[in-house]
Structure 1
């Protein structure tokens, strides 16, 4: 068994810290010597390892004790969690090493242009870290692939050129560009609607992001119109002309509301996947209120709208709305009707 000073030295902690853990009931020694010294056995040391691991994950001391005493906690589960975190750190370090090797190669060749490109890439990596967790960044292709980031800079420059030339949304040229934009967005988000929504929020809310990406408010408004007109063109194959015109008026008045609402719904979905809360029901009401304002309440028109959404993949790209959101809203409405 180890005395408190010995354990503190081996663990890289202070004696005062171990005394504190004892005083709050987080880690009490299994025994005391005849002289009253705290003595820690193997199980105590194992628990200390778990405490320090959970602290590294950002868990508060006040929550660690409850977690360790819960059925879901086990030494194996915590070690596996540590390994997963370490694997991610290794992957990130390997990615950064590859970035720096390439940068070194450009610098050694005296290529200052490439240096500026790599510095921009590194700035963008920092930018993404403000809005995505490390786990999300590990699954976000756009963050993992510097070549994709370079492609987006070219795409944004092309969009700016279309806006400068006054290429009309809904024109053949604008629609072709909208398809390219949506397909690249789908590729570089891994088809994850939540990532689409996070990127949209990131560029719409942060002036620094707008400056780094070139997505000025004016360009964002132009691209929203370009993407919307592409969707209206597709919907016109299924819906009456007056409904499409109604959708166009709705888009002009409520586009930003959809983004805010979808963001709130995704946050609620994470906390309440079964949509039983009052907030979930209120969000569902807001969603269907906007939907009715957009397409009306004619059952036949609504059926055609849903047919278009199922039949046309482009209508599902770039909206931030996936199957899990639709299922969440369905549950919320069922719970709302059950309450009534």
Structure 2
């Protein structure tokens, strides 16, 4: 048992599907076969969802990692006692819920930095709720970067053949174009290559997307592809990476879906997220709900391991018992794999 990594799993927003998918994931006995999972959040919230949905689980409340038993059917919860159930409404944005989800994230970061857990997995949060609570971050990635003192990081999305890293994420589209710079592209190529290795990918060929339609078409539709992306590709080749680009994004992602590339570089948030979610998210038009939501979000460049579900809070179905734990299971499995293949990262940059 002691050889299995300890994985800290946050509850996400307590008004969301986060607590539900976390508990459901730990009802998969295979999770306990590969790791020692520890839920981090408010124990009362987890008890409420277990009772409401009639799930076959009985939580073991602990106040420190060392007290966890890691017994299937009795998930351990490191109780932060920060939710008033009388004020909690499923699907509702609130500062209380935002603060509770933020404190769970901060706690697993602290535990990982202290070496008490081997990796962290995060449930979905609501950015508005977190900001209403006074925590002014654009998302998980920025929270982790801030509290680990990390300057060079990137979002890597993983779902079967699709491994997509981003040059920029939570910025306006206008700003994203300005962030397409040779130095940053080379940074994310380094991070993608490392991530592919840690995930056990054998195909290390990397596709690098163009920014503009047809990758600029020799300057007809913009100059960034020739001025910034092409020099980055040439330098990556010089450094020994197997890269190709700039490739028009519509062509690159069609090839990536077949496994032609081991991983690809997207220039901005939606360029990478849309094809990725088309691959992993399956909508049932008759039931008007998702049949499957697959995809893992990994923050590369951190001194600790962080994976996450790559879907939102799904407030519209919170508390209804229909949320799929698929993405959470995959996020835990990815965290375990990364923990086993962990490569030492640079020390955090002091503020």
Tell me which interval the TM-score lies in, with the shorter structure as reference length: under 0.3
Answer with 1 or 2: which has the greater Rg: 1
Higher RCO structure (Cα 8 Å, ≥6 apart): 2
Tell me the TM-score normalized by structure 1: 0.23
Tell me the TM-score normalized by structure 2: 0.23
Higher helix share: 1
